[in-house]
Amino acid sequence: MEDRIVIASAARTAVGDFGGQFKTVPAVELGVVAVKEALKRANVKADMVDEAYIGNVLQAAQGQNVARQVVLGAGLDIDTPAVTINVVCGSGLRAVSLAAQVIKAGDAEIVLAGGTESMSMAPYALTNERWGARMGDKKVVDTMIKDGLWDAFNDYHMGITAENVAEKYGITREMQDELATRSQNNAERARKEGRFKDEIVPVEVKDRKGNVTVVDTDEHIRDGVTMEGLAKLKPAFKKDGGTVTAGNASGINDGAAMLVLMKESKAKELGVTPLAYIISYATAGVDPKIMGTGPIPSSTKALEIAGLTADDLDLIEANEAFAAQACAVNQVMKFDINKVNVNGGAIAIGHPIGASGARILTTLLFEMQKRDAKKGLATLCIGGGMGTALIVGRD
């Protein structure tokens, strides 16, 4: 019998708003909290982790190797190697598939994987001041936009790529607002029902006076969202005929999510009941101009490797970078909308880019448990024109 690679545990922080409750909390600190909880849930001691792969995108001025800072900050052994992964929005999920590959290759027994991001703390940069400012006005670069939300190939915002997808696939403003409304309404219901409680680990945030606030609830979810309300918003990126708005796009957010992977035999040895086992994973490239379509080839490839079809999936977490691309993915993949983002997606919960892949996988795993679902897919589009996907299963 095959000794399958399993996800022994998963934990995430709440997702904070841009400039919200986590605005003074560095990505490293958010990651440390999630790592400690994930290890605790997996019954794994600090000296048992062989390696760590942690996604992080906005690395400017954070110091060397964010993953290594997280690992040592969480109390893991000094000899634990750590790799920071930057595949933009796919970083957190690609970290998990890389961890699975390392275990599959026999190079490690227990691997930590996930992602962490503070978009609120991304610095501004003076890019041409190294050798002195002789005269004239100088440009300050927003590294959050430059490194996280800007297409390096076509020199425009990710929002324009969403407009391109909408035009190519015939996705109307009404279709986008309908998906966004569903996302917010589902997330509101899920939060009120306490469906995120099991996956979230509280974070203690201290203010300047030393007062402590415990953050354990996603901050970006909006209550009472309606299509009528969203219809009033103006296009954010393309004034003439644009369809993408602040209401049908994902948020700018902070958060972290971590998972512990190992072989099934190791989980039994530790007395841990795995959340799921890894079935397949895939990453694929697309035209950067329509980067939001990345989940189409990556999910198709992952399904082919697994010998499955979309109909075989019980639950799907498809990251909602923009409603336009989410609609296109659902349309082309012929996903059953009732299986997709059942507790809301990134439009409602938020999109802390380097952490989102691990966040959606964590949410998928806990919801699969609640519904006794057997097969699930997590997938994201990636700035620069890629997509990544991972399929998990439960007995």
Residue 381 among the catalytic residues: yes
Beta-carbon contacts of residue 86 (< 8 Å; ≥ 6 apart) = 55, 56, 57, 59, 354
3-state secondary structure of 166: helix
- β-pair partners for 376: 315, 392
- Fill in the DSSP letter of residue 15: P
- β-pair partners for 157: 150
How far is it, in rounded angstroms, from Cα 363 to Cα 366?
A: 5
Q: Please tell me the number of Cα atoms within 13 Å of 390 on its side-chain side.
A: 30
Buried b (16+ CB within 10 A) or exposed e, 261-270: bbbbebbeeb
Residues 89, 157, 220, 327: which is the catalytic one? 89
How far is it, in rounded angstroms, from Cα 323 to Cα 328?
A: 8
Q: What is the CA radius of gyration of the chain?
A: 20
Contact of 6 with 264, CB cutoff 8 Å: yes
Give the pairing of strands 51-55 and 110-118. parallel
Residue 351 among the catalytic residues: yes
Q: In sequence order, what DSSP letters do the residues of 92-116 get, joined into one string? A: HHHHHHHHHHHHHTTS-SEEEEEEE
- Burial zone of 142 (CB within 10 Å; 0-12 exposed, 13-18 middle, 19+ buried): middle
Q: How many CB atoms lie within 10 A of CB 65?
A: 17
Residues 157, 220, 327, 381: which is the catalytic one? 381
Give the pairing of strands 253-263 and 5-12. antiparallel
Taking alpha carbons only, the member of 291, 324, 336, 340 closest to residue 177 is 324
Q: In sequence order, what DSSP letters do the residues of 48-68 get, joined into one string? A: G--EEEEE-S--TTS-S-HHH
How far is it, in rounded angstroms, from Cα 116 to Cα 78?
A: 20
Amino acid at 307: G
Q: Cite the active site residues.
A: 89, 351, 381
